[in-house]
Structure 1
């Protein structure tokens, strides 16, 4: 019975370093994931801000950048505005096409009988009465 206890103890001791290496591996992967998210977020903000050469992002301190719960950069627009103010040669002229909002859709409004000409009224009335029985 003592032999079985001695056999089990080294196994438990061996599991601890494996757990630590697994935790280290997970923390490394998490750090790489966060770094990629920050880089992608910075690229997106730079393109929106009109940056000509994305190599200018290397001038930013990526360690100070924080992500929110939705994995977006906190204060990304302000960061790009500050960079534009400090280093304007990195940016081109602002384009309105990239930040323009989509126009609101409005339902097609039919003309009323008062707005129609006599010919339009006759055609519309004929179309309506044709389908009624």
Structure 2
């Protein structure tokens, strides 16, 4: 019976230590998630800015990555702009138009006489004779 009075305090201390460990683990996961989100934002902004090779993101100064910390106002676009100014060879030339090219025009197809009505055929024949 002497074990029962000692059990609750040990149990409470055990639960408190487990809760503290869970809070530390949660904080570690939150920090890792913030780092992943920051990396995705940087990649998206680098692609938008025309970075030729995303390996160039490794050249970002560690001091520039402080935007991950809460309360700092630096954004991914500001960091990429600084990288563009300091290392312009990592980026392609900016273009005001979209990356898609216009389709090639198809050459005009000759219309066969079999597909024309008699009046259309006569008009086409007269146009050919006038040339």
TM normalised by structure 1 equals: 0.61
**What is the match of residue 36 of structure 1?**
36
- Stretches of structure 2 lacking an aligned partner (at least 5 in a row): 100-131
Classify the secondary structure of the residue corresponding to 1:92: coil
How far apart are 1:40 and its partner, in Å?
0.3
Classify the secondary structure of the residue corresponding to 2:32: helix
CA distance in 1, matches of 2:14, 2:68: 37
Larger CA Rg, structure 1 vs 2? 2
Q: Residues 51 and 67 from structure 1, CA distance in 2 versus in 1: closer, same or farther, beyond 3 angstroms?
A: farther
What is the aligned-residue RMSD (CA, Å)? 2.5
How far apart are 1:5 and its partner, in Å?
2.0
Classify the secondary structure of the residue corresponding to 2:92: coil
CA distance in 2, matches of 1:24, 1:80: 32
Structure having the higher helix fraction is: 2
**What is the match of residue 77 of structure 2?**
77
CA distance in 1, matches of 2:20, 2:9: 18
- Stretches of structure 1 lacking an aligned partner (at least 5 in a row): 99-133
**What is the match of residue 11 of structure 1?**
11
- Kindly tell me the number of residue pairs found equivalent between the two proteins: 95
Q: Residues 6 and 26 from structure 1, CA distance in 2 versus in 1: closer, same or farther, beyond 3 angstroms?
A: same
**What is the match of residue 130 of structure 1?**
none
